Chains A and B, each alone.
Chain A
Amino acid sequence: MKNIVRAAALGGAVALALAACGSAPEESGSTGGSDNASSDFKACMVSDAGGFEDKSFNQSGAEGLDRAGDELGVQVVKVESSAETDFAPNVDQLVAQDCNLIIGVGFLLADALTDAASANPDIEFALVDSAFNEDSDNAKPLLFNTQEAAYLAGYVAAGTSTTGTVATFGGISIPSVTIFMDGFADGVAKYNEDNGADVQVLGWDKEAQTGSFTGDFDDQTKGQNLAKGFIDQGADVIMPVAGPVGLGAAAAAKEAGNVSIVGVDADWYETSPDYSDIILTSVMKEIGQAVYDTVSEAADGSFSSDPYVGTLENEGIGIAPFHDFDSTVPDEVKTAVGDLQAQIISGDLVVESPSQN
């Protein structure tokens, strides 16, 4: 036993030593990788309690900021909050560090950012997924009419379902989640109305604003169990609005066979290759792009406090291609979705949600 331990320790030491045998870089060009910032502009971001690796909106926001750092050469500072009580101190720290633009991710930061915006008129602020408590010249909300894209996804889901039952569930009942579910339910209702069908939606009642939630954005098992329950009730298309918890639902769908998933935030066909064969479509929300554009404007000096609203029209939101399901989705559904999209863009059709800002 002792020998094994010794051998393992020796092996580890050798491996470490070999790994440490690389040659030193030239002194001149090695000022460090993070200093390639060519601009004095400092763009900063505060996450909400989910952290930047939540596979959801914090991560999308951080990716947009990182891209701005790489492509625009602005300096980037990101701070994570581990609880809601961290917001104000984190924003304070960024103010103290002379950030030019401070972006908060999530409605929970609205109070902290509104206070900071009125106290620091020379710093620009942006807030993802929520309006500020009071309008101000240096405060720009980044909003998304997610219900419009979810509406189209709901229509497609209803049009592809063979069992006549589709389902959706959320992580936590907050507006940025339920807005997806509202649009989805309305899209299904629209399909029923157009085709005299009676497709049922499990997991969300738009009228009552109640439905199924896993309670967090971490536990994939809960998503799996909830999805299994829906599948047992006959659902064959499921839209999980719960960040990584949705992958649990995808696992349940794959196990059941004949069940497809509507992804959220990004095109899951691309981001979750393990499940690409069961992804019907995805409701995409381009937070990263919105953040990138905001940083870019602010760095140019063309920052405005007008809200950014991601719509189908400006492609801030949208539905992903059908990929493997292209042949499964009936042509009349595809045409109808195209028409609906045109109507929404032209303003003839308004998809409403109480969660819309």
Chain B
Amino acid sequence: MNAAPDVPAKDAQDERLEPRLQGALREMLTSNWLVTVAALLLALIVSGVLIAAADEDVHTTASYLFARPTDFLSAVWNSVWHAYVALFQGAIVDPTASTFAKAVRPLTETMTWSVPLILAGLGLAVGFRAGLFNIGAQGQIILGAVFGGYIGFAFGLPPVLHLLLAIIAAALGGAIWAGIAGFLKARTGANEVIVTIMLNNIAVYLVAYLLTTTAFKREGSNNPQSPPIDSTAIYPRLLGDDFRLHAGFLLAIVATVFVWWLMDRSTLGFQFRAVGANPSAARTAGININRIYLLVMITSGALAGLAGSAQVLGTEKVLTAGVAASFGFDAITVALLGRSKPLGTFLAGLLFGALRAGGFAMQSRTGTPIDIVLVVQSLVVLFIAAPPLVRAVFRLPSPGRRQQISPTPAPVTKEAAA
């Protein structure tokens, strides 16, 4: 209402950037699951080439390739095979381990790593489907961790209440941080991509600053590290103290169901999607899109804040400047790979959790640089963003052509071709 006067100016600005971004977004979201699998496969193949290229034995044997090519080929095979075997053993199950607990530990690690990825990924997915390209999960996770962590170590409260309060605070922290971007978008039309990226930087320095203040610093230490979180505010371990898997995983499942209900069953979710599909049409239909922008960002940020709680109250049990690792950025990949659907995001989060968990075994057992895992992730997104490339490589039919064959009458295609 009060934003009405500046709407035309804003639209003129957005017209250039927005459709292109949204077009790219839509392209990624509508690619079918076969393309997703193919992209993953292709990413593993290309990464295999890189693993081989980085391997020392491959270098030595390549120098006498023509004298004894078998050495070279077996070195290539060994490096790639061993790296991927270690990846599997570090992520799913390790048959070489001495005890059963150690053998299944990798799977629980995968689940532990997936918790922040799923939660933040769900948050971003909500935004993507509403047409908001929220890149700010990193900052929102950090703020969630700061809020949740502070409640966790500074207040002495009874067990269940303490944890609940810390979780709510974490969600609130993320919601506030994302809400800033949503508010600016709704009020002034500020592009959420730019605002959220900048808020990431502010969050990084904010947590670094807070950890130098007496309120956040561990007593008797000059290191930028919070006191350990009270045991009353820690997510209960699901499988005993030998495993890091914590109740945050259950929260991730609940959040997945909630997002499904929100987006596919509730009126609010319908409005989110309507705004995402076509903001102008949604406005014409009587939806207050500025209110929706704000609500979408708050929901998105709250979920990312929960991801922060999983880190600080679950896995790490302490607040440091690096508590968010690169989860906020990986979550973008997770949401895109999951095509912004709740179940898809959940599965993509598990997959990326597995890549993370397996990466450690790959590095320590075969000396493969852990950066390769990052390369696999990045390649997955790259290929998903370019479906025609993947289709060309695997000779998959393009969806456009399939449509032309079945529902549209033949003459139309001819006319179009002419």
Is B258 in the interface zone, CB < 8 Å from A?
no
Rounded to whole Å, the gap between the CB of B150 and the closest CB of chain A is 18
Report whether A23 and B224 are in contact in the complex, using a CB–CB cutoff of 8 Å. no
Report whether A97 and B365 are in contact in the complex, using a CB–CB cutoff of 8 Å. yes
Report whether B224 and A85 are in contact in the complex, using a CB–CB cutoff of 8 Å. no
Which of the 9-residue segments B42-50, B158-166, B249-257, B310-318 touches chain A?
B310-318
- Given contacts A93-B364, A130-B223, A175-B222, whether A84 and B66 have CB atoms under 8 Å apart is no
B contact residues around A19 at 8 Å (CB): 62-63
Which of the 9-residue segments B322-330, B378-386, B392-400 touches chain A?
B322-330
Is A278 in the interface zone, CB < 8 Å from B?
no
Is B65 in the interface zone, CB < 8 Å from A?
yes
The complex places the Cα of A19 from the Cα of B59 at a distance, in Å, of 11
B contact residues around A22 at 8 Å (CB): 63-64, 67
The complex places the Cα of A124 from the Cα of B391 at a distance, in Å, of 53
Report whether A89 and B370 are in contact in the complex, using a CB–CB cutoff of 8 Å. no
Report whether B223 and A20 are in contact in the complex, using a CB–CB cutoff of 8 Å. no
Is B18 in the interface zone, CB < 8 Å from A?
no
Rounded to whole Å, the gap between the CB of B137 and the closest CB of chain A is 15
Report whether B64 and A20 are in contact in the complex, using a CB–CB cutoff of 8 Å. yes
Which of the 9-residue segments A57-65, A74-82, A289-297, A335-343 touches chain B?
A74-82
Report whether B364 and A85 are in contact in the complex, using a CB–CB cutoff of 8 Å. no
Report whether B363 and A23 are in contact in the complex, using a CB–CB cutoff of 8 Å. no
B contact residues around A84 at 8 Å (CB): 316, 320-323, 325
The complex places the Cα of A340 from the Cα of B149 at a distance, in Å, of 46
Is B346 in the interface zone, CB < 8 Å from A?
no
Report whether B311 and A85 are in contact in the complex, using a CB–CB cutoff of 8 Å. yes
Look across to chain A and name the residue whose beta carbon is closest to the beta carbon of B67: A24
Rounded to whole Å, the gap between the CB of B360 and the closest CB of chain A is 5
Report whether B67 and A23 are in contact in the complex, using a CB–CB cutoff of 8 Å. yes
Q: Which size bracket describes the interface of B in this complex?
A: 35 or more
Rounded to whole Å, the gap between the CB of B322 and the closest CB of chain A is 3
Report whether B318 and A111 are in contact in the complex, using a CB–CB cutoff of 8 Å. yes
Rounded to whole Å, the gap between the CB of B349 and the closest CB of chain A is 15
A contact residues around B208 at 8 Å (CB): 172
- Given contacts A80-B370, A83-B325, A108-B320, whether A175 and B364 have CB atoms under 8 Å apart is no
Report whether A93 and B360 are in contact in the complex, using a CB–CB cutoff of 8 Å. yes
Report whether B223 and A86 are in contact in the complex, using a CB–CB cutoff of 8 Å. no
Is B357 in the interface zone, CB < 8 Å from A?
yes
Rounded to whole Å, the gap between the CB of A11 and the closest CB of chain B is 18
CB within 8 Å of A: which of B211-226? Answer: 212, 222-225
Q: Which size bracket describes the interface of A in this complex?
A: 35 or more
CB within 8 Å of B: which of A83-129? Answer: 83-86, 88-90, 92-94, 96-97, 107-108, 110-111
Rounded to whole Å, the gap between the CB of A210 and the closest CB of chain B is 9
Is A15 in the interface zone, CB < 8 Å from B?
no
CB within 8 Å of B: which of A180-202? Answer: none
Is A25 in the interface zone, CB < 8 Å from B?
yes
Is B34 in the interface zone, CB < 8 Å from A?
no
Report whether B325 and A85 are in contact in the complex, using a CB–CB cutoff of 8 Å. yes
Report whether B360 and A79 are in contact in the complex, using a CB–CB cutoff of 8 Å. yes
B contact residues around A33 at 8 Å (CB): 56, 60
Report whether A90 and B222 are in contact in the complex, using a CB–CB cutoff of 8 Å. no
**Contacting B326 at CB < 8 Å: which of A77, A83, A172, A173?**
A83
Binding site for B on A (CB under 8 A): 17, 19-25, 32-34, 44, 49, 77, 79-80, 82-86, 88-90, 92-94, 96-97, 107-108, 110-111, 130, 172-175, 178, 215, 354-355
Please list 10 pairs of residues, one from A and one from B, whose beta carbons are closer than 8 Å in the complex, sorted by A's number: A20-B66, A22-B67, A80-B369, A82-B325, A82-B326, A84-B322, A85-B311, A93-B364, A130-B223, A215-B205
Binding site for A on B (CB under 8 A): 56-57, 60, 62-68, 71, 90, 97, 102, 109, 205, 208, 212, 222-225, 228, 244, 311, 315-316, 318, 320-323, 325-326, 357, 360-361, 363-365, 369-371, 374
- List 9 additional contacts besides A80-B363, A88-B315; criterion CB under 8 Å: A19-B62, A21-B66, A22-B67, A23-B64, A79-B370, A93-B365, A94-B364, A172-B208, A173-B224
Nearest 6 interchain pairs by C-beta:
A84-B322, A20-B65, A83-B325, A24-B67, A93-B364, A24-B68
